[in-house]
Structure 1
Amino acid sequence: MTTGRTTRRTTTGSTTTEGKARAPSRFSARFRILVWLLVVMTVALTTVVLTTRSILQSDLNERIGMILTQETAEFDNFVTHGRDPDTGQRFTDARELLTVHLQRQFPEPAEELLGFIRESPRPTVIRQPREISTRLPLYEDRASLERIADAPERSGTLRAGGGEVRWAKVPIAGGEGEPASMFIVAFHADRGQSSVNNVVGILLAISGVALLMTCAVSWAVAGSILAPVRLVRATAAQLTEQDLTRRIPIRGRDDISALAETFNAMLDRLERAFAVQRRFVDDAGHELRTPITIVRGHLELMSQGEGPDSVRDRRETVRLVTDELDRMSRIVEDLLLLAKTERPDFVQPAPVQLAELTADVFVKARALGDRRWELAGVAEREMSLDAQRITQAMVQLAQNAVQHTEPGQRVWIGSQLTDRGARLYVADTGPGVPAEDAEVIFERFRRGTTAGRRGSRAGGGSGAGLGLSIVKAIAEGHHGRVELWTTPGGGATFELVLETS
């Protein structure tokens, strides 16, 4: 069986929600980000400063030890191999040995080289003859020099001149009766420590500047990063039940853009949910008002009835009221069904054999009216469908065909395979659907313009214009569509076009 052109129309709605805004936090996210970043930076810079200070201190201690070792080793070598410049012979006088050696040395700024001869009544201290840039206090501190001379160790540490002094000494072996003499090298560690402190001070100053720069940059960057979040908050605050159309502009492909995209998707779902709610309330109020008015009017007439015809009138009134109540019940059921179409569990697909499904629909449709029912074709294929919903839609289309045909006219039911799925159809030989009606009959409570018994292709069983809306909702629940074709020779063909995922 061949068919013609299809016309289909889909409508959407919009709703909003209104909720209470949470009390703002005591501190903004921007401020908290800044504080945490400053804490991390402070800890990192403090670790760097302390580590640098430790390394410099260790290096200073190692350098002092090397200086003391080197100076004492040089003096030992000079004692062994040195020659008196006047005689060319080895030194025999300790004073001359110390004087010549000290004259040839160039100490560090914090280093002090001395000769010490324990003479009576007062020890003699020999210093370098040249002027040095820094006056060191150990030369004047005779008590400290005597402690060094009396110490059994060859190196050690003491406090002199208000600071720490690390020293080493080399005793000079003399003849019988000669006073004890020695070479002393002292390093004033506090003078070397000042360079370490200077470096640490510079690092602290640089760290302070870095923290200030980090504070400024972090404040600006955090503001830039959180700008979309503030936009989301502002948009959410502006949403009302009357306006859910606002959306967050999406820029880039980062996490903030993903947040904005998720927020927009949430607004889309809210808009659809409120549209369904509003549509249900509007439709219920609109469609139930008329039967309620009819019921009330007839009941008022019945309450005023008197005379011999009152019983007959009451019976007629009860019949009319019962019909209206039945119609109200069908309208409510259809509205509830349409409201469920937005739920994710409206359709529950399962593997279904199309041949069996088509045959079941055909058997059920034959009981709807005295027509020439024909099973036009059967598709042999298994598809994932909600069999109950598809059956409901096909029976609705069959009921629609019965309403617009006369007894004895032909009605076809069948299914066919397509390249991407299958289509199930109901075709009749009735008056067909005018072109102006094809655009609206799938909308809720919209009826065709044809008068009389065949005046509503969308009426279905309820006569409220919901039948084809339900069919459309079931098709879209399967990610398919409903198509309307013109039956060759006159009539209308409605198809459920279903595609495999």
Structure 2
Amino acid sequence: MTDAVRARRVVPARVRIMGWMLLLMAIVLVTVTLVTRTFLMQRIDADVTSALEQEAGELSRVARGGVDRATQQPFRDVRELLFNHLQRQHPDDDEVIVGWVAPGEVLAQDRSEPFRLATRPDVLDPILASDAPSGAADTDAGELRWIKVEVTGPVGDRGAFVVGYLVDRDRAEIDDTIQTLVVVSAAGLVVAALVAWLVAGRILAPVRLVRRAAAEITERDLTQRIPIAGRDDIAALASQFNSMLDRLEQAFGTQRRFVDDASHELRTPITIVRGHLELMGDDPAERAAVVRLCTDELDRMGRIVADLLMLAKAERPDFVRPEPVEVAELTGDLYAKCRALGDRDWRLASIGECTARLDPQRVTQAVVQLAQNAVQHTTAGDEIQVGSSCHDGQVTFWITDHGAGVPEPDRETIFGRFARGSTGGAAGHRAGAGLGLAIVHAIAEAHGGTVRLTSPEGGGATFSLDLPGAAP
């Protein structure tokens, strides 16, 4: 399956949100409907059973008393008892009441009944013959729930009182109620779908803005930003996305400047080498001078490339490999290496007494670069101090010179790539590529530290490398 086919089958987030909301609501509504119907059906069964038991209980009490409540005379037989009791009953519209006197006389009320049980021996006879006191029977008018009370008269004659209840009409009313509930639920789902669509669209609006902004972003246009409204998670996402764009814009700008500066720095020695080679004559002395000049420019190109590679490695997590180092011993080594850089009055100002966790090779590279920078901005015999100190869990290495110092405008940019300060020092001093202090800054950051510059107005400069991880 190709990526294009997969892309066409992707369901939008707005549709998925609406679908899940509708599915949840549908499950809830179906559950409520089924539970409601079950509860109502059980309620009907309980009400019918209660009504039948009430009718049967009334007859049982009358039979135990054996006295006609109107005349206060005892019943002569079962027929009189059942007939008298039937005339006093006022059943519901769905109730059916009959009396039966052995051997086969059926007594009924003179009223319009929903089902004439007295004239339906096919239904009544099985009820009378049943040993169970209650049950259910199928009739033309629906299910008939019945209860039977057998009665024995004063002269030993027998009879029975049967009360029935047709439950289908009540069940039909419940079904109509459930149908209405289903229709209302379906309408509610339609309204909920519309609301879910609108709400999902409102919630996902910032996400769509993020997507459109991301689609419009190119290396040449990183100015797109997302408007932030509210304080919810979507607003936080938009804020983080804008912050990411700020970092990307800054990174791309730095990269473009870096590439432009690197191209310029590498183009210059190439132009010099090519120009001298094109104009080189046959004179051996001239050829030797051109070769020396070309070699010098190629060496400078090599140093620029090496510095660029060093700065590229600074982005890797294994750029520094810290280990426990005695600061006093490392300071002595640094002083010895710095003295070989030039004819200056080198002084070991102080030595820190502690153990620090750092990369001694990278720290040596940074301090030597600072010392080389001091040599380039001083003359022969000028004093340069090298020192270290330990305090508050931090170790500091510094180089102090008494040259021309660093002008105020250069102090903010001097640690950037290809940034050059105003040159001082010996006549004919040639500025480097402007990568040395950038490398020092990268080494300090890789250790979790900083590099500081202090340059008083009277001249001179102190570069300090502050690194954490010092222990007494």
| TM-score normalised by L of structure 1 | 0.82
The answer for the alignment partner of 1:141 in structure 2 is 120
Q: CA deviation at 1:249?
A: 4.8
Give the letter aligned to residue 405 of structure 2: G
Q: Which amino acid aligns with 2:256?
A: R
Distance 1:337 1:247, change over 3 A: farther
- 1:163 paired to 2:132: no
**For the structure 1 residues 374 and 232, does the alpha-carbon distance in structure 2 shift closer, same or farther, using more than 3 Å as the test?**
same
2-side partners of 1:202 and 1:139: how far apart? 37
- The structure-2 alpha-carbon separation of the partners of 1:148 and 1:435, relative to structure 1 and needing over 3 Å to count, comes to closer
Cα deviation per residue 1:268-321 (whole Å; 9 max; x = unaligned)? 55445534543442222111111111222222234xx34xx2x33332222222
Residue matched to 1:357:
330
Alpha-carbon distance between aligned partners in 2 of 1:224 and 1:28, rounded to the nearest angstrom: 14
Q: What is the CA RMSD across the aligned residues, in angstroms?
A: 3.2
| Residue 293 of structure 1 pairs with residue 271 of structure 2 | yes
Aligned partner of 2:208 in structure 1 is 230
Q: Distance in 2 between matches of 1:108 and 1:455?
A: 123
Q: Which range is displaced more, 103-112 or 364-373?
A: 103-112
Q: What TM-score do the two structures reach when normalised by structure 2?
A: 0.86
Distance 2:9 2:390 in 1: 60
**Structure-2 change in CA distance of 1:454 and 1:141 (3 Å):** farther
Percent identity among equivalent residues?
A: 51
Residues 43-442 of structure 1 aligned to structure 2 (within 5 Å): 43-85=27-69, 88-117=72-101, 123-127=105-109, 129=110, 135-173=114-152, 181-249=159-227, 254-264=232-242, 266-268=244-246, 270-271=248-249, 273-275=251-253, 277-302=255-280, 305-306=281-282, 309=283, 311-417=284-390, 421-442=394-415
How far apart, CA to CA, are the structure 2 residues paired with 1:383 and 1:99?
Answer: 115
How far apart, CA to CA, are the structure 1 residues paired with 2:425 and 2:356?
Answer: 40
Q: Please list, as runs of the form range in 1=range in 2, the aligned pairs for 1:452-471 lying within 5 A after superposition.
A: 453=426, 459=431, 463-471=432-440
Kept in 2: contact 1:448–1:455 (CA 8 A): no
CA–CA distance in structure 2, aligned partners of residues 138 and 94 of structure 1: 20
Q: In the alignment, which residue of structure 1 is the partner of 2:21?
A: 37
One-letter amino acid of the structure 2 residue matched with residue 321 of structure 1: C
SS of equivalent residue, structure 2 residue 224: coil
1:214 shift after superposition: 2.4
Contact (CA 8 Å) 1:429, 1:487: kept in 2 or not?
no
What secondary structure sits across from 1:432 in the alignment?
coil
Post-superposition shift, 1:28? Answer: 1.5
More displaced stretch, 444-453 vs 55-64: 444-453
Structure 2 CA distance for partners of 1:139 and 1:349, relative to 1, 3 Å: farther
**1:153 offset after TM fit, Å?**
3.2
Tell me how far 1:160 sits from its aligned partner: 1.2
Residue type of the partner of 2:172?
S
Q: Which range is displaced more, 267-276 or 427-436?
A: 267-276
Question: Residue 10 of structure 1 corresponds to which residue in structure 2?
Answer: none
> In structure 2, what is the Cα distance between the partners aligned to 1:428 and 1:27?
68
Corresponding position of 1:447? 420
- Structure 1, 317-326 or 55-64: larger mean CA deviation: 55-64
> In structure 1, how many angstroms separate the alpha carbons of the residues matched to 2:87 and 2:80?
11
The DSSP-based 3-state class of the residue aligned with 2:43 is helix
Which residue number in structure 2 is paired with residue 14 of structure 1? none
Specify the code of the residue in structure 2 equivalent to 1:407.
Answer: A
Whole-Å separation in 1 of the counterparts to 2:194 and 2:129: 61
**Structure 2 CA distance, aligned partners of 1:448 and 1:75?**
118
Q: 1:384 to 1:110 in 2, by over 3 A?
A: farther
TM-superposed CA distance for 1:491, in Å, is 2.5
Please tell me the residue identity of whatever aligns with 1:426. I
> How far is the alpha carbon of 1:361 from its aligned partner?
1.6
Q: Distance between the aligned counterparts of 1:277 and 1:446, measured in 2? A: 14
Is residue 379–residue 425 contact of structure 2 (8 Å, CA) maintained in 1?
A: no
Note the alpha carbon deviations across 1:189-214, whole angstroms, 9 max, x for none. Answer: 21231343244234324423432332
**Gap runs ≥5 in structure 1:** 1-19
Q: What corresponds to 1:16 in structure 2?
A: none
- 1:175 deviates by 8.0
Alpha-carbon distance in structure 1 between the residues aligned to 2:316 and 2:299? 27
CA distance in 2, matches of 1:239, 1:466: 31
| 39-48 vs 481-490, greater mean Cα deviation | 481-490
SS in 2 for 1:125: strand
Q: Cα–Cα, structure 1 residues 340 and 263, in superposed 2: closer, same or farther, change >3 Å?
A: farther
Question: What is the CA-CA distance between 1:185 and the residue it aligns to?
Answer: 0.3
- Structure 1 residues 435 and 277, CA gap change in structure 2 (3 angstroms): closer
